[in-house]
Amino acid sequence: MSQPPDQPDPYARVVHRFATAGKLAAARMMLNWDAQTNMPRGGAWARGEQMAALTEVSAELIGGDGVDDELSEAEELAARLEPDERADLKEMRRTWVHAAAVPKALQAAKARMSQELQAIWTRAKPENDFKSFAAPFDELLKVQREIAAAKAEALGTSPYGALMDEYDPGVGERLVDPIFAELAQALPPLIAEVLERQAGWPDPIPYPPSPIARQTELSHRLAIAVGHDPEQFRIDAAPHPFSVPHSPGDVRFTTRYDEDDVRFSIMATLHEAGHAMYEANLPRAFAFRPGGMARGMSVHESQSLSLEMMAGRSREFLEHLAPLMAEVLGGDPEPYSARNVLNATRRLDDDFIRVNADELSYPLHVILRYRIEKALLSGDLKVADLPGVWDDMFEKMFGRRPPSLAKGCLQDIHWAAGYIGYFPNYAMGALLAAQLFERANAEDPAIRPALARGDFGPYFTWARSRVHARASLVGFDQLVTEATGQPLSADAFMRHVRRRYLEEPAP
């Protein structure tokens, strides 16, 4: 509960301070949503100034003079607090360390530059125009290096590790590096084995072109099936799908539509609906406060991938989805037979785009980005050399070379948005999704039969108490171990993909 700043209770004072900053962050995210969905292209400069102003005020609130002393006063009385309040206070301290480490002007500069660069990226990607992107990205990287260095000194970690901690506390290089090494070694031969098996399958019947209006209806039907209240959500289109955090009761997420392939909107909608379900189920009593935020991006990604990959691509749900597609999309029903939908969905891809990738290839896309952005941050890789290095690494990992920059180093918006240290969560979240889903099904055998009816309720009932309601009131390791019975590893993911792609019957 937020109280006026003149309250004598030290904890109440810091709660008000950090909750106010959280509300400003929520407003900033809503402005970003508008920038990606409705804002005219010419508005990028003004929007950058607005975002910079909000960032500067937020930074002063949680990292300015006197905040350290206020936190210390509250910490001296922590024994009087309830356990969740102590956890909230601990998260405030972690948030303060990040905010206080970096000068406000530097944070505002990053917000301003990233907003402008996202607008440049939106045009540069379809035009394969790396030249217009490169120079401002190089300038943004210089600011990002200063931020990383300042945070590394405050946290006592590497610069890249400090940026990871901002997005994913508890998921550092020490955890990521050995897991990524294991995946990089294990997945290519497994992919080859699955491709050999699938070579004997009949070719799937291509889905016919689908009008955007019908895809939009299908997206809304899926969001409601997932569990979203039609009075509390909206879906829009964006070049790169995302969901808006920190907005309880006003759930906004985006998808993308391709008239020639409805799979994109289906999987993007399920993915973002999963993110949005996590946000919608966070504890309202701690809304906008550090302890009430999601427990880092790997946990967030586990909730989107639990929905999109684990449940959404299960045989049970696909057999429900097929007739729904036929009903909403219309036309020849043959491509929407359960057998064909399963065949099309289970096929390993030969694409170049991360967000389109199959489950086995997906972590490799993330590992490529992880290695590249670490080199960019350190300065070992120059921005001018990025396209060639990307293409060479992609060819080595996947055996094919991107045909364009839009399908290569310009495909994702994250670097334009200044999200360095963010990408590892996409693969770590996939591993956690498998580990959570495995445990959920072991504890509740009703989950899979419910998916055959298009009912995600049993899974979210299981996840709500073990993941959503815990927010950031426990650490990453504790959340994972208590929810699944063991620390995070690649074991459950490898069991899952072997079972789904090598052991389940062919379509």
Q: Which residue has the tokens 């206080």?
A: 100
How far is C-alpha 456 from the chain's CA centre? 20
Phi, psi of 243 (to 5 degrees): -120, 160
- Terminus-to-terminus CA distance in the chain, angstroms? 53
Residue 135 neighbours by CB under 8 Å, 6+ apart: none
Q: According to the 3-state scheme, what is the secondary structure of 301-359?
A: HHHHHHHHHHHCCCHHHHHHHHHHHHHHHCCCCHHHCHHHHHHHHHCCCCCCCHHHCCC
d(CA 404, CA 417): 21
d(CA 234, CA 238): 13
CB 268 within 8 A of CB 304: no
Q: Which residue has the tokens 């917000």?
A: 111
Q: Which two tokens stand for residue 206?
A: 């291509």
Q: Which secondary-structure segment (H or E) carries 233? A: strand 233-237
CB 348 within 8 A of CB 361: yes
Q: How many CB atoms lie within 10 A of CB 186?
A: 16
Strands (E), 4-120: none
Residue type at 355 in one-letter notation: V
d(CA 146, CA 1): 36
Return the closest-CA partner of residue 29 out of 294, 362, 269, 258. 294
d(CA 228, CA 213): 20
The residues that are catalytic are: 272
Phi, psi of 254 (to 5 degrees): -125, 160
CB 263 within 8 A of CB 243: no
How far from 238 is each of 17, 122, 256, CA to CA, in Å? 33, 10, 6
